[in-house]
Amino acid sequence: MARAAAVVALVVAACFFRASAQAANYTVGGHAGWIFDSATNKPAANYASWASKQKFFLGDYLIFQTNANSTVIQTYNKTTYGLCSLDQDYGNLTTQWTPFEGADGGSGGRAADAIAVPLTVNGENYYFSSTGDGIQCRNGMKFHITVAHGSGLPPALNQPPPPPPTPATPPPLSPIDATPSSQSETFYNGAPARGGSGPLAIAFSVGFLLLEVLPLAAKGIPSLLL
């Protein structure tokens, strides 16, 4: 009984260690790679059998050693996988990886190429080749895996896309108001201010001076104007 408990403890510890370890790379099909033989119309390996013997976690990578004769389709849509075709896939659950430079990466059609596909979604992940209108897929060039959470995605695969830049909006222009807003503004615009020397002010000053001078002249006092 104690021996059985020890074995169980070792298994649990091993699983925990694997879940907390660094991400692993898995070469699809092993040494055979992701290759389809057009002469025999058969894939180079039994990919379903290969996948069933592996354990996959978030952050791991599938390495497809392939060539220009095959594609790599990654999908979370079981219907797309079953049809071996992208024709009925109208969602955003499917990605096509190709070994052609200028498409989704690759080396421009060399004889061999390695495509690294990260595992970023928990649960069922489906893969197939769509070459030949799905002929390769229907002849065994496909497999599906179950991805466990493990220790989660590493930071390099868990970064949200940067937000789009926000264009600067100029402040709204204030309408010009022709109506003076204060007495000081009225003065600034050229209207006479208090204590100014306009015609009315001059006439008032002359009248005041005459009122002062005329009584003096009547008393015989020399006028200040003389």
Q: How high is the mean pLDDT in each 10-residue block of the chain (226 residues)?
A: 44 43 90 96 97 97 94 95 89 78 41 86 97 96 98 83 57 56 38 42 50 56 48
* DSSP 8-state secondary structure symbol assigned to residue 79: H
Report pLDDT for 168: 57
* Domain residue limits, the chain: 23-154
Give the C-alpha separation, 87 to 39, whole Å: 26
**Counting Cβ atoms within 10 Å, is residue 205 exposed (0-12), middle (13-18) or buried (19+)?**
exposed
Beta bridge partners of 143: 127
Positive or negative, the CA dihedral 105, 110, 116, 121 is positive
Domain topology for 23-154 = Immunoglobulin-like (2.60.40)
User: Residue 44 in contact with residue 64, Cβ under 8 Å?
Assistant: no
Report pLDDT for 88: 79
How much is the pTM?
A: 0.59
